[in-house]
Amino acid sequence: MRRTMLFLPGNNPNMVMNGGVLGADSIIFDLEDAVAPDQKDAARELVRCALEMLDFGGCEIIVRINALDTPYWKEDLEAMIPLKPDVIMPTKVSGAAYIHELEAKMAEEEEKNGIEIGRTRIIPLLETTLGIENAFEIARSTKRMAALYLGAEDLTADLRCRRTKEGNEIAYARGRLVCAARAAGIDAYDTPFTDVEDLAGLKKDAELARGLGYTGKAVISPRHVDIVNAVFSPSKEDVAYARDVFAAMEEAKEQGKGAVSLRGKMIDAPIVERARQVLEAAAQIGGMLDE
Amino acid sequence: MSKLAGSLREAIAASGLRDGMCISFHHHLRSGDYVLNMVLDEIAAMGIRDLTVNASSIHDGHAPMIEHMKSGVVTGLETNYIGPAVGRAISEGVLKNPVIFRTHGSRPSDLEQGVSKIDVAFLAAPTADPMGNCTGKIGKSACGSLGYAFVDAQCAAKTVVITDNLVDYPLYDWSISEDFVDYVVQVDAIGDPRGIVSGTTRMPKDPIALRIAQTAARAIDASGLLKDGVSFQTGAGGASLATADFLKQIMLEKHIKGSYALGGITGYIVDMLNEGLFEAIQDVQCFDLKAVESLRTNPRHMEITASRYASPTAKSTAAGSLDVVVLGATQIDLDFNVNVHTDSKGYIIGGSGGHTDVAACAKLTVIVAPLSRARMPIVVDRVLTVSTPGSSVDMLVTQYGIAVNPARPELKEALQKAHLPVKDIGELKALADKINGAPKKREIKKDRIVAKVQNRDGSLLDVIYGV
């Protein structure tokens, strides 16, 4: 499940320690923007200890490393790859060449540590206009690619416009990124909603992203996790309908019928596929299938 | 006749106070209270010594009493809670006799039953008339309920009311009646309003506290007790307060209307009353200005005495009808015993207050606590001090899961059915030790007892040794 991807500052012991219990599907240990330059090594050390010692309860583990034009990213990878995080998140990704440079170093570290090459996946942060324009190229640049992630704050600076809650200024980027990700067969993560207190605004923003086809949304506050999870989870009605779809398919099969209809509508392949996705998601969330 | 004394000294002298007696105070002015300090200063100046103070609670604002302990003016203390400032001094041996720790319920019970006696009660009163009718609802030092003070007035041999808002006789909306009052003293100020009640009680933002609270609320819902007519009490501390907020959301979603909320009352509980989620509030103590205002203006918000709150010898109590209580813990052990008296080094930092009472009475007692604080595990093999016996505790909710008392298998089953993260308490302890490292075992010298912790029935639960 990739409904929520929660940022945890890599230099905050309380947050790092408790990252697994905040309800997020994925947690991002941030070595980049949340950590001041003179704290980079301390954050690396704290995250290293946490990954060595603690169990994060099945959360997908992501480490956001520093950009490739900084002196930190290689050390980040050297410290993190041996700990087998699920995903490395590079920032300010502008094209396939960037990913190729990154994955060469990742492969080097994997080999050095006896880890299967290609095990560590990549979710790049696309937060420049060039990155958005090259989204499909980036999405297909490596087999490691797990999802694309839109970062709207830096993007709007690059676009030379103001970031608003309505998000009209990032409508194109949202559409372009999700289309590129889906075309490449991977997930798409929406940008975080940055007003921690505005929970109604958050819900609206998450619903917009879900409506566009996004898999989930990054969050910068633990308080946002449950709302985003709920928006990106199938509803009870969705689950009931999906079950009915499969029941109707089964019944038609028994009766030897070719065409299957449910509630007066034909069931075609996309409907069955959506139903399968809904039941799969519900099974992963747990509990929804008991009722 | 006139009960008005010209000065505090005059009232003390008239009360007949002498060496070796017991004087009492309530704690409704909390850390902003001036009365305990001013009375002890005056008594010391009069040369009276060897007194026992019986106070419902001692807060950090009462730190000046440490000097009176050193000088022998105060040699005994009977109370339900001691804040860290005075607690540390007592742990270090400043008080001649061991502290007697009671609970908010057993204190009035023991006074009413004659088990303990007060010679002179000094009652801080935010508003009083010259005959001693008094209330906490109005005045510049308004604190709301005077719940803990009723028993002092009723049981003390002499009662002195001390006020900074003297009004004409008769005060019409009185809480404590003149028939129990011997003397009235007017002073400039009985307390610092900033320390008496907070302006607003803030909901915690700590994501860990919120996660614990959310899990606790879901567990309470799963227990089956959250239905029409439910009654509950939650503390004013972080996760307890947040639990009330999550319960509120569930009650609104499910259209549940509760019966009453009990205890120390915050603005959040007042909001729940005003939104129709409860029929009434039974208030023994107000924690913020919103609660004070509500008590003054809303007849459904009732002031109750400490006896009615939780006395084990009362014919019935509000605690006795309680469905759910959410409480905190400094430590909890593998037998679910809870410590709220001492810190990990053994220093006195608190006390039961009503913890032991409501835990014993409620149908469901929920302890909310993080797995560790500042790298000290909260779940331990054995608590340093037993404040509330494990037999009164039904479950512990941490951010890493819920441990259910083995005596409640049906509760465990209900929580599992609701897909809540139920774990064995031993598992939680192992997890805490794994994360924090097992703390070094602390050597406690057992040569000096500084406090005795009584259960609500008066039996000895534990002793606290000097540090």
Amino acid at A60: E
Q: Answer whether residue B459 is part of any domain.
A: no
Residue B403 corresponds to which tokens in the numbers above?
């441990």
- A54 to chain B, any CB pair closer than 8 A? The answer is yes
Mark residue B374 as left, alpha or beta (left: phi above 0; alpha: psi -120 to 50; beta: remaining): left
Q: Are residues B253 and B108 in the same domain?
A: no
Rounded to whole angstroms, the Cα distance separating B452 from B78 reads: 10
Contact B207 A287 (CB under 8 A): no
Cα(A101)–Cα(A122) distance, rounded to whole angstroms? 13
Residue B367's Cα: distance from chain center in Å? 16
DSSP string, B241-263: HHHHHHHHHHHHHHT---SEEEE
Enumerate the residues of chain B whose CB falls inside 8 A of the CB of residue A15: 207
Examine the domain organization and report whether B307 and B176 are in the same domain: no
Q: Could you give the C-alpha distances from A141 to A74, A191, B350, in angstroms and in order?
A: 20, 22, 61
Q: Given CB atoms, is A286 within the 8 Å cutoff of chain B? A: yes
Query: What is the least distance, in Å, from the CA of B64 to any CA of chain A?
Result: 36
Contact residues, chain A, for B434 at CB < 8 Å:
53-54
Chain B residues with CB under 8 Å of A18 CB are: 207-208, 211, 399
DSSP B202: P
**What pLDDT is recorded for position A102?**
96
Q: How far apart are CA A81 and CA A76, in angstroms?
A: 8
Can you give the pLDDT at residue A15? 87
The answer to whether residue B446 neighbours chain A at the CB level (below 8 Å) is: no
Q: Inspect the interface and report whether the beta carbons of A223 and B434 lie closer than 8 Å.
A: no
Poorest-pLDDT segment among A269-283, B85-99, B154-168: A269-283
Residue A220's closest chain B neighbor by CA? B207
The C-alpha of A23 sits at a distance from chain B's nearest C-alpha, in angstroms, of 8
Q: What is the Cα A108 distance to its own chain's centre?
A: 25
Distant-in-sequence, close-in-space partners of B58: CB < 8 Å, separation ≥ 6 = B27, B36, B65, B77, B79, B81, B82, B83, B86, B87
Residue A199 C-alpha, separation from nearest chain B C-alpha, in angstroms: 14
DSSP calls for B84-136: HHHHHHHHTT-SSS-EEE--TTHHHHHHHTTSS--SEEEEEESEE-TT--EES
Residue B199 has pLDDT above 70, yes or no: no
Place of tokens 């324009």: A133
User: Domain for residue B201, yes or no?
Assistant: no
CA–CA separation, A107 and A264 (whole Å): 54
pLDDT for A289: 53
Q: What's the structural domain count of chain B?
A: 2
Q: Hey, of A6, A8, A15, A17, which one would you mutate to test binding to chain B, going by the most B CBs within 10 A of its CB?
A: A17
Of B210, B419, B435, the CB nearest to A223: B210
CB contact under 8 A, A22 and B207: yes
Cβ distance of A18 and B214 shorter than 8 Å: no
d(CA A204, CA B436): 40
Q: Within this chain, do residues B297 and B323 fall inside the same structural domain, yes or no? A: yes
Name the pairing type of β-strands B338-339 and B331-333.
Answer: antiparallel
* Same structural domain, B252 and B177: no
pLDDT of residue B28: 95
CB pair distance less than 8 Å for A23 and B419: no
**CATH classification at residue B177:** 3.40.1080.10
Residue B457: inside a domain:
no
Point out the domain boundary residue: B196, B216, B238: B196
CB contact under 8 A, B399 and A18: yes
Contacts of B41 (CB under 8 A, 6+ apart): B64
Residues B139 and B237 in one domain: no
Largest interatomic CA distance in chain B:
70
Residue in B400, B419, B434 nearest the CB of A21 = B400
In this structure, is residue B16 part of a structural domain?
yes
Relative to beta strand A187-190, strand B280-286 is: unpaired
Rg (CA), chain A: 20
What is the band of A246 on the pLDDT scale with cuts at 50, 70, 90?
confident
Are B282 and B332 part of one and the same domain?
yes
Whether residue B13 is predicted with pLDDT greater than 60 in this model: the reply is yes
Chain A contact present for B214, CB below 8 A: yes
Residue type, B334: L
As to burial, measured by CB atoms within 10 angstroms (0-12 exposed, 13-18 middle, 19+ buried), residue B71 is exposed
Is A230 within 8 Å of chain B by CB? Answer: no
Residue B453: inside a domain, yes or no?
Answer: no
- Tell me the pLDDT of chain B averaged across its residues: 95
What would the mean pLDDT of B407-417 be, rounded to a whole number? 97
pLDDT band (50, 70, 90) for residue A256: confident
Rg (C-alpha) for chain B, rounded Å, is 22
* Distance between B441 CA and the closest CA of chain A, angstroms: 23
Q: Residue B437: which residues within 8 A CB-CB, separation 6 or more?
A: B375
Contacts of A53 in chain B (CB under 8 A): 434-435
Structure tokens at A162: 């103001």
Clarify whether residues B242 and B369 are in a common domain. yes
Q: Does the distance separating the beta carbons of B210 and A17 come in below 8 Å?
A: no
Same domain, B221 and B312: yes
- Residue B303, classed as helix, strand or coil, is strand
Contact A18 B419 (CB under 8 A): no
Q: Which residues of A fall within a CB distance of 8 Å from B210?
A: 222-223
| Spatial distance between the Cα atoms of B400 and B420, rounded to a whole number of angstroms | 11
Contacts of A275 (CB under 8 A, 6+ apart): A241, A242, A245, A246
Name which residue leads in pLDDT, B10 or B207. Answer: B10
Domain shared by B176 and B241, yes or no: no
Nearest chain A Cα distance for residue B329, angstroms: 19
- The whole-number average pLDDT for the span A171-182 is 97
Round to whole Å and give the CA distance between B381 and B304.
38
Q: What is the pLDDT of residue A287?
A: 57
* Nearest CA distance, A189 vs chain B (angstrom): 23
pLDDT category of residue A1 using cuts at 50, 70 and 90? confident
Cα-Cα-Cα-Cα torsion B442, B448, B451, B457, nearest 10 degrees, comes to 100
User: Is position B465 within any domain?
Assistant: no
Indicate yes or no: CB of A17 within 8 angstroms of CB of B435: yes
Tell me phi and psi for residue B199, to 5 degrees: -60, -55
* CB neighbour list of residue B6: distance below 8 Å, 6 or more residues apart: none
Q: Partners of B255 in the beta sheet?
A: none
Chain A residues lying within 8 Å of B373, measured CB to CB: none
* B4 touches A: beta carbon within 8 Å: no
Structural domains for chain A: 4-231 (3.20.20.60), 236-285 (no CATH)
Residue bearing tokens 């019409």: B172
- CA gap A19, A161 in Å, rounded: 34
- Among B399, B419, B434, the residue with its CB nearest the CB of A286 is B419
Name the pLDDT band for B241 (thresholds 50, 70, 90): confident
Q: What is the pTM of this model?
A: 0.88
pLDDT band at A260 (very low <50, low <70, confident <90, very high): confident
153-212 of B, contacting A, C-beta below 8 A: 205, 207-208, 210-211
Gap between the Cα atoms of B241 and B209, Å rounded:
10
B91 and B134 housed in the same domain:
yes
β-strand pairing of B120-125 with B158-163:
parallel
Higher pLDDT, B122 or A39: B122
In a domain, B396, yes or no: yes
Give tens-digit pLDDT for B263-296: 889 999 999 999 999 999 999 999 998 999 999 9
Q: How far apart are alpha carbons B358 and B365 in whole angstroms?
A: 8
User: Bridge partners of A260?
Assistant: none
B219 within a domain of the structure (yes/no): yes
Whether residue B211 and residue A223 make contact (CB cut-off 8 A), yes or no, is no
Would you state the pLDDT for residue B192? Answer: 87
Would you say B12 and B39 are in contact if contact means Cβ atoms under 8 Å apart? yes
| End-to-end Cα separation, chain A, in angstroms | 21
Residues in chain B within 8 Å Cβ distance of A226? 214
Burial of A142 (0-12, 13-18, 19+ CB in 10 A): middle
pLDDT at res. A291 = 45
Name the helix (H) or strand (E) containing B365: strand B364-368
Specify the DSSP element, H or E, that contains A206. helix A199-212
pLDDT digits (tens, 9 = 90+) for A113-171: 999 999 999 999 999 999 999 999 999 999 999 999 999 999 999 999 999 999 999 99
Nearest CA in chain B to A17: B435
- The residue count of chain B comes to 467
For residue A92, give the DSSP letter.
S
Chain-chain contact of A221 with B400 (C-beta, under 8 angstroms):
no
Q: Would you call B275 exposed, middle or buried from its count of C-beta atoms within 10 A (0-12, 13-18, 19+)?
A: exposed
Q: How close is the nearest chain B Cα to the Cα of A49, in Å?
A: 10
- In this complex, do B211 and A54 lie within 8 Å of one another by their Cβ atoms? no
Nearest to B65 by CA among B44, B91, B46, B92: B44
Chain A: closest CA distance from residue B278 (Å):
26
Nearest by CB to A14, from B208, B210, B419: name it.
Answer: B208
In a shared domain, residues B432 and B339: yes
CB-closest option in A21, A53, A290 to B211:
A21
Q: What is the pLDDT of residues B177-191, one digit of tens each?
A: 999 999 999 999 999
Same domain, B148 and B228: no
Question: Coil, helix or strand for A133?
Answer: helix
Mutation target to probe the B interface, by most B beta carbons within 10 A, among A7, A16, A21 is A21
pLDDT tens for each residue of B15-34: 999 999 999 999 999 999 99
pLDDT value at residue A266: 82
Contacts of A54 in chain B (CB under 8 A): 434-435
Q: For residue A8, what is the nearest residue in chain B, using CA coordinates?
A: B207
Range of the domain at B79: 4-196
